[in-house]
Structure 1
């Protein structure tokens, strides 16, 4: 007999050692990757039940002399059990009612066990009694109905209180009390199923399970928690078809997030069914074997009601957006963009951060969503997340907004905030009418692509990672070009649209491998499928169209501040639902940007901000009182008249070289007096800033006198002539002589011969005419009438003159494609241009300048 006891004790000790090892392994697994959360929970549940059963068996099988030796082992094992219970029944799932409070799971956390009471071994060990439910089992309860209803109330409160509002959808079948048994849960508006509707309920659950099984990828729908409070009549009246449906739910429901809590109705034997048998205030359940659980008292009714009201209010308000600060890394600018760019844009349905990659495999992204869906907010979130991870040496941003807004203005310095985002090289705002700036940016990126491609060939590299490895001293950051409402650049059947489409397709095809990535966003994407084929990363906002595949309806069901991230060109089965932060708080954003700005490296240049509604002013260096920058000095002996700002990446001035060659005169054409005066003033002042010169200012209309007077006041030693004393018979000079003419078409027939002679012969004598004619026909009259040529006008600036009217001055038939718009001009110099370019006349002598 003694040998038998010794063998039994040895076996128990071996079992205890194995249980402790399992407990330690599970506790260590609790710190592992979030992706193993569900597996970890299952291991903890199994270890918890195994330890309890081994402890109970050891207590029953040992004798008095063994109990003393075993007690120390039992105390240690009880400590491990408490640790396991803490891991698998955290917060509201396992706290006693006296300290109970709702608690949301940690990001990536999965449901654990739920407490229903305590297990008492002796005076030293009282452990929580836990049962599985969500993602684990169905519950079948038997015993006195009144006690069972109290247990069910506690289970529901713990399940709802330990998940996020809306994550559990409650349905109650209660034919006797018509839902009154669970009345405290009424604020949550549970689906109540009355007598005679059990069949339709079961059919609906089976359809839901089939739909979940047919949907690829992880389940995103809430859990369906169905409470069946059946009576004898229900069990007697069930048809064979209803019984078959119930059995099917038992077998397949848990894997699809459908769980039954049943009283008064038998369930078939299945591993997913956890049976709880209640006797008065004690209970036994399958997973704990012979261990008796002393049931907790029911939760206070007022606490249940208060919780349900609070949860209902939060559900009605909808899910709150994530916080922008949640996306920040532990340390700014610690990441390398050698192999790509990865940054989170929000959290998933389980609370884990969803990261979006840009690299060789997923080089470009497409964002789609109607107006008001949060497209701009998503761009701010993504750019902010990238900017906190990758410094200016690793990331360069080019931002274009064709959505008629100023969303990217926050990244540049302003009058109230001098900070800017160090990674931004260029930002274009209010450019919905300035396709030229978008085209100039694409040309710049195309030049950068050629530079990188040639450098990669020299170093024998195929990708940016290979180039940076072979040329560690080079400056090769990854470039991200964001174009919001990009179809605006491609509208129309003109050369600009064709060139923009060609550049975009080339960047989409070859740019990714050389570290140039596109993020294209739009409201509607009809008609751009060849381009979209190069954009495998798709992000669809609520109600987005043509972003995902035709059979992918993910964007149709997501709420505000959510998006569908798809890395398989929009195909079904690759959807990930992400909840986006709200980046609209300018105070929060300004605080983040200032932190990054203060950390900018030495030599980090302020970004170029192009505002389509802003009018640039003539820089001080182009005025006589200023000093011409050495980099902008005129070439050779031909001074350059500055006419306006070019619409390009570098904000260079548009210049007209005035040498001693025929035709070196300028005609400003159009009826906009202020803009014509600004063009003439900018040209005259910039010429005066380049060295000695003579000026004759001729004003022939009263509406231009104020502008002419201001120009004369600023020019050194300028003569001013009006219609009473105007003359075009001017002698030659050793220094250039510039005739600035306001409304020269008003000179009249008397002065036309002299004006024509000056235009023809003046440039060779260093006399150049820069004049304003209000219409092309009037210019033609001054040049000799219908048969006269325009050789004397080598350059022109057209304001509000349609392109067809410029045909006589244009070398190609039909005239240029030009639709006039405010504060834009068409500049053509036949000695330089093949096609005209759009410029912005400087603001020079307006009242506020």
Structure 2
């Protein structure tokens, strides 16, 4: 039993040992498996950590790239939006308050979008304050605002200030209905009331205000749009000035106020909202009901942000209200400007966009300034009115007015359509800028003639009138050929002809027509004929004066003054308008009264003139026209009464044949000076084989007498190089001039007081021989200086020097001997010719300097002599073979004298 237990125990022991061995083996195997699993877990954990690190870095890199791209795109987008906003809301309409300043647009401008704040958040890198939020208003929509009242009122104040600052003064009128604060909410705009731009309406005034706006809409639709335009905006889009202002009705109310509106008031408000935009009537409402619709923009303010449909519900951070001080200061300045009247139109505004786009067949029209409404006022010249009378005292702006008118005319009409003749009789050079000069070679292409500093040379004004009279006759003959009664018909019948309208401007014309001398008498007769017949042939006169005496000279000629139906009176002008018309006494400086009905009060138009005298502005206009001038267009003739013409260095004149009044060519011509006429031709004496073809220079002004002789001899030498010249210097004062002539004619023979007898003897003896092939010109300086010697009887008998001189004068021209002599007085010439009963027919031509007209009686066919008094550097020229009456000439300045 014991052994069985022992065996059993041993067996159990063995089994336990075996089990323990198996257990240890299993435990070892499990430990090895755990080790392997732990290793695998470590590998997995390391891989996971690596993946997480890579993912984190990738996420960070992606975030950085996205952020950079977002910043670039958002910056670009913000710049694009800001650029678009700058176009849609330029200047005062879109600038932040720190940069805000009013900007006056061009005529017809204004009405763009208006800034109310900025789009987006304030965080750096996101669309923020640089992207403005813009709302439409003028010509586009009505506004209704709800929410935080303080913010809403700030938005309304900002919109009003931007509207006023981005439109022209007076183009916006505001009515504020504020029953709660009675206008106190917009008190900064109160100064506009003085200029009629702002009105506050109390609780009892709303009905009248709404009724008035409805009536304005009806009137504009009926009388302004008149079925031709759909809206006022279409009128400005067509290039015309806006005919009506914008009218803003600002309604500041609340729920209680809204409840008090009557059915009639609501109906009128609905009519305004429905029909007002086309007529420039807009509603800006806070707290009062405005019927929703496509033309109504709703703005909601909540939580410091603004939302509205036109901004796609984007959150908008509103701008603060404009600074109260800036609002009040701007409104005061605007009111003062409007009370003072509209600003003058600029000189540049008188010109059209393109040069020379108008035709003058039917007449001329151009603005000279702006009316009280800012519209340009056009002044016309044509069949009616044909001529203009301009007047005003010194300093009233007459020259400025003429500059404005000429600038507007020349900008519209090319040289083929308009020809200008400009005279200024006062001591000045107002019109000289339109002709070329050493400082400025350009000129105004329409100008044909300019006369300045001619207050002492009325003959030049008379010459211009004669030229116009000749042109009138030429046009009348052409019209008769085509059976045309006026210029428009002539141009239609003769399209290839050159028939521009002519405007002759004579400033201080009273100098020309005042007096009882022949110049004034002929000038008035010519003016009357041109005024009466010129209208049909396209010749128009503009007479300007600051002296009432000139106007009085015309009032005595009723047939003449009646033709000047266009009257322009500057402040304090006298007798320009009708006797009962005192408008010129009331207009301020820089204004004028334009009247096209001979000064009748009902035809008055008040014009504010631009500053047209600015040389820089004129230079721009003139330079543009000068560069556009047609090829071959000659410069205008400039006559300056203070300038002395210079004799050509070579003695040649390009068209000497044209100096003959009949246009004939013939014997050599001695040039004695320049005529005072439109062409500026040389005054000549034809020296042919005809009795009397001698020249006498009369007067004691040595320099001018020597200049006449010098120019005559030099011009003859240029025409007849083979001619013989003899120079006799008989007075020491003339020695310098005579030697200059001798230097210019080195082959000339020289004589002095001691040898002049030899010259006269030779000349007298030659009168019996054959006629030479070439002429002989004898230039004698001061023959009267040797009168005593010429009167002496020769010791051996024979004729005296005087007798030889008379023989040469009488028969010399037939033998090609011509005497060009200077005598210092007419009595001394008479003595040399034989005394009291002497005949003067041997002197066929003469130039008188400081000799009075009465002394010239024996030499002139006019009874008692010509009406002439001596003037510096002027001479009276008469050639009995061509002249009926003497003409005025200017002795040339010789080249050596100029040096």
- TM-score w.r.t. structure 2 length? 0.66
Displacement after TM superposition at 1:644 (Å): 0.6
How many residues align? The count is 673
Name the CA shift for 1:627/1:613 in 2 (closer, same or farther; >3 Å).
closer
Match of 1:742 in 2: 781
Match of 1:613 in 2: 642
SS of the residue corresponding to residue 528 of structure 1 reads helix
Aligned mates of 1:499, 1:574 — CA distance in 2: 33
Which of 631, 640, 644 is the matching residue for 2:673? Answer: 644
Match of 1:730 in 2: 762
Displacement after TM superposition at 1:109 (Å): 9.0
SS of the residue corresponding to residue 622 of structure 1 reads coil
Match of 1:844 in 2: 894
Is it true that 1:832 corresponds to 2:830 in the alignment? Answer: no
Match of 1:772 in 2: 822
Name the CA shift for 1:551/1:183 in 2 (closer, same or farther; >3 Å).
farther
Is it true that 1:669 corresponds to 2:667 in the alignment? Answer: no
Match of 2:708 in 1: 679
Name the CA shift for 1:227/1:629 in 2 (closer, same or farther; >3 Å).
same
Match of 2:728 in 1: 698
**Does structure 1 retain, via aligned residues, the 8 Å contact 2:192–2:334?**
no
Instruction: After TM superposition, list the pairs within 5 Å mapping 1:195-210 onto structure 2.
Output: none
Which of 694, 705, 711 is the matching residue for 2:741? Answer: 711
**Does structure 2 retain, via aligned residues, the 8 Å contact 1:345–1:354?**
yes
Aligned mates of 1:795, 1:111 — CA distance in 2: 77
Name the CA shift for 1:466/1:554 in 2 (closer, same or farther; >3 Å).
same
Match of 2:846 in 1: 796
Aligned mates of 1:505, 1:647 — CA distance in 2: 22
Match of 2:857 in 1: 807
Match of 2:504 in 1: 481
**Does structure 1 retain, via aligned residues, the 8 Å contact 2:776–2:817?**
yes
Name the CA shift for 1:388/1:128 in 2 (closer, same or farther; >3 Å).
closer
SS of the residue corresponding to residue 400 of structure 2 reads helix
Aligned mates of 1:638, 1:277 — CA distance in 2: 98
Aligned mates of 1:277, 1:599 — CA distance in 2: 59
Name the CA shift for 1:632/1:654 in 2 (closer, same or farther; >3 Å).
closer
Match of 1:446 in 2: 469
**Does structure 2 retain, via aligned residues, the 8 Å contact 1:698–1:739?**
yes
Name the CA shift for 1:107/1:354 in 2 (closer, same or farther; >3 Å).
farther
Match of 1:689 in 2: 718
Is it true that 1:584 corresponds to 2:613 in the alignment? Answer: yes
Name the CA shift for 1:551/1:636 in 2 (closer, same or farther; >3 Å).
closer
Is it true that 1:345 corresponds to 2:368 in the alignment? Answer: yes
Aligned mates of 2:752, 2:870 — CA distance in 1: 30
Match of 1:359 in 2: 382
Is it true that 1:659 corresponds to 2:640 in the alignment? Answer: no
Instruction: After TM superposition, list the pairs within 5 Å mapping 1:379-458 onto structure 2.
Output: 379-458=402-481
Displacement after TM superposition at 1:505 (Å): 1.3
Displacement after TM superposition at 1:189 (Å): 11
Aligned mates of 1:377, 1:577 — CA distance in 2: 16
- Cα-to-partner distance string for 1:59-88 (whole Å, 9 max, x where unaligned): xxxxxxxxxxxxxxxxxxxxxxxxxxxxxx
Match of 2:870 in 1: 820
**Does structure 1 retain, via aligned residues, the 8 Å contact 2:845–2:877?**
yes
Instruction: After TM superposition, list the pairs within 5 Å mapping 1:226-375 onto structure 2.
Output: 278=253, 287-288=268-269, 291=289, 300-308=323-331, 310-311=333-334, 320-375=343-398
SS of the residue corresponding to residue 807 of structure 1 reads helix
**Does structure 2 retain, via aligned residues, the 8 Å contact 1:340–1:358?**
yes
Match of 1:756 in 2: 806
- Cα-to-partner distance string for 1:362-419 (whole Å, 9 max, x where unaligned): 2222221222222112222222222122211111111111122211111111112222
Name the CA shift for 1:563/1:760 in 2 (closer, same or farther; >3 Å).
same
Displacement after TM superposition at 1:552 (Å): 2.5
Aligned mates of 1:279, 1:494 — CA distance in 2: 86
Name the CA shift for 1:317/1:611 in 2 (closer, same or farther; >3 Å).
farther
Displacement after TM superposition at 1:760 (Å): 2.6
Name the CA shift for 1:168/1:544 in 2 (closer, same or farther; >3 Å).
farther
Name the CA shift for 1:657/1:278 in 2 (closer, same or farther; >3 Å).
same
**Does structure 2 retain, via aligned residues, the 8 Å contact 1:627–1:689?**
no
Cα RMSD after superposing both structures: 4.7
Is it true that 1:528 corresponds to 2:557 in the alignment? Answer: no
Per mean C-alpha deviation after superposition, the further-off stretch among 299-308 and 466-475 is 299-308
Unaligned residue ranges in structure 2 (runs of 5+): 1-88, 116-133, 140-149, 175-182, 217-246, 271-287, 291-297, 302-319, 792-801
**Does structure 1 retain, via aligned residues, the 8 Å contact 2:342–2:374?**
no
Displacement after TM superposition at 1:577 (Å): 2.5
SS of the residue corresponding to residue 726 of structure 2 reads strand
Instruction: After TM superposition, list the pairs within 5 Å mapping 1:164-179 onto structure 2.
Output: none
Which of 728, 751, 774 is the matching residue for 1:721? Answer: 751
**Does structure 1 retain, via aligned residues, the 8 Å contact 2:451–2:638?**
yes
